[in-house]
Amino acid sequence: DLAGCVDSRKSTSGYIFMMAGGAISWRSAKQTLIATSTMEAEFVSCFEATSHGVWLKSFISGLRIMDSISRPLKIFCDNSAAVFMAKNNKSGSRSKYIDIKHLAIRERVKDKVVVIEHISTDLMIADPLTKGMPPLKFKDHVENMG
């Protein structure tokens, strides 16, 4: 949601973590910076999801309730440029704030802690957390949350 707040022009990030067919953790929040492009807004959201996901995976692993949690955490992003930026060493950003996030995600990808994958916008179930949508599409997304 690039520049969605009419007062501050800050974007909204949203993510949902699924396990065993249902949502176990989610968040929708205004970003702390003003993104200058959709890619930047999506990348910040990807960073926030990755950071929370790494913590959540560690927490769940500590509970010892699932064996398959040892695989790399899969993060889906519906912005091709943000996915490309996460997987490659080049940052086109002129912002130190974004560069730090890029390096953090890049390191997690390189160390196989996370895998960032592109997903079609139509399949992005976190979209209701960041933007308004038609009732039928909203219903479909919510049903896919488990």
User: Looking at the domain assignment, is residue 1 inside a domain?
Assistant: no
User: Looking at the domain assignment, is residue 48 inside a domain?
Assistant: yes
120-140 pLDDT per residue, tens:
999 999 999 999 999 999 999
User: Looking at the domain assignment, is residue 35 inside a domain?
Assistant: yes
User: Looking at the domain assignment, is residue 141 inside a domain?
Assistant: no
- For 64, the token pair is 């010892």
Q: Where in the sequence is the domain holding 119, given as residue range(s)?
A: 12-132
Q: Please, where are the H alpha helices in the chain?
A: 38-63, 80-87, 96-110, 135-144
Question: Which domain CATH number covers 62?
Answer: 3.30.420
Given a cut of 70, whether residue 39 has pLDDT beyond it is yes
User: Looking at the domain assignment, is residue 138 inside a domain?
Assistant: no
Domain count along the chain: 1
User: Looking at the domain assignment, is residue 74 inside a domain?
Assistant: yes
Over pLDDT 90: what percentage of the chain?
62
When pLDDT is averaged across residues 7-33 and rounded to a whole number, the result is: 94
40-69 pLDDT per residue, tens:
899 999 999 999 999 999 999 888 887 767
User: Looking at the domain assignment, is residue 120 inside a domain?
Assistant: yes
User: Looking at the domain assignment, is residue 54 inside a domain?
Assistant: yes
Give the distance from CA 120 to its chain's centroid.
Answer: 14
pTM listed for this prediction: 0.88
**Long-range residue pairs from 105-112, CB within 8 A, at least 24 positions apart, any chain:** 105/43, 105/46, 105/47, 105/50, 108/50, 108/54, 112/72
Predicted pLDDT at 44 = 92
- For 31, the token pair is 């970003």
